[in-house]
Amino acid sequence: MKAFQAILGVWLSAVIFCALMFPIVGEITRWYEFPVIPGLEQKARILFFHVPLAWTSVVGFVVSVFYAIRYLRSKQIDDDIKSSSAAGLGLLFCALTTLTGSIWAKFSWGSFWNWDPRETSIFVLLLIYGAYFALRSAVQEDDKKATLAAVYAIIAGVTMPFLMFVMPRIIESLHPDPIINTRGKVSINSTMLVVFFSSLAGFTALYFWIYSLKLRVARLEFKRSSAGE
């Protein structure tokens, strides 16, 4: 575990360094340079942080739904602990995504919020997380709480794909997806691609590391509260 943490620390530091320090130039001459993306320039750097954060918030939600389904079949309270911990962490990452997204929006398009489909979908994810925890706090008994929360997570999980995938295809989006992925292929510079995927991997690993810690705490807390009854 310690080795993992050390590696993770070094990995993410390297990613952050590359993301922030690699110069952006018009003509690529060295391997460690990024090309200029018209319309983005320096602001492209946020790509390395914002997208992985968004990705992990969705991952958190998927993990939560997975354990929600497991809970309904097994009725083991541990599955519910896993589900709610994943959701709690997902909420944090989602809030960060919204924050970084807002900052990017301000610099790119002039205002903090625009109701672009992707912005809306991350906002809805935030609402889903919020509603999930509101529901949990409205029920006293543990097993009822777990069942109702699991059901809600599943229902929300069913409607999420509609926002994430269907709508941006139908409605025009401000997000630079069309700029970077013209003609449907990923035509992004390879150095950027490497740093991007490293960042993605790094953030995902970060999520799971914090998740395992949170899980340990949650399980201990649960044992303490049920022993105290």
Partner 1 sequence: MIMKSDGFIRITAAVFRKDTSSELRTRYALNALFLFTVTTLSIILFSFQSATVPVQVHAGLLWVLIFFAAMSGLSRTFITEEDRGTILLLKLSTISTPVFYGKLLFNVLLLLALTAILTILYSLVLPGFAVMSMTSFCISLFLGTVGLASASTIIGALIAKANARGTLYPVLSFPIVLPLLLTVIRATTIAMEDPAWDAAMDEYRVLVSYIVAINAASYLVFEYIWKD
The tokens for 61 are 């939600």
31/115 with CB nearer partner 1 = 115
Beta carbon of residue 123, minimum distance to partner 1 (angstroms, whole number): 9
Beta carbon of residue 22, minimum distance to partner 1 (angstroms, whole number): 38
Asked if 159 is part of the footprint of partner 1 (rule: CB under 8 A), the reply reads: yes
Beta carbon of residue 211, minimum distance to partner 1 (angstroms, whole number): 23
Radius of gyration (Cα) for the chain, nearest Å? 20
41/143 with CB nearer partner 1 = 143
Beta carbon of residue 158, minimum distance to partner 1 (angstroms, whole number): 4
Q: How many CB atoms lie within 10 A of CB 224?
A: 9
69/215 with CB nearer partner 1 = 69
Interface pattern 118-157 for partner 1 (x via CB under 8 A): --x---xx-xx-xx--xx--xxx---x--xx-xxx-xxx-
Number of chain residues interacting with partner 1 (CB under 8 A): 30
User: Which residues from 167-186 bind partner 1, rule CB under 8 A?
Assistant: 167, 170-171
Interface pattern 79-108 for partner 1 (x via CB under 8 A): ------------------------------
Could you list the residues that contact partner 1 (CB under 8 A)?
A: 72, 120, 124-125, 127-128, 130-131, 134-135, 138-140, 144, 147-148, 150-152, 154-156, 158-159, 162-163, 166-167, 170-171
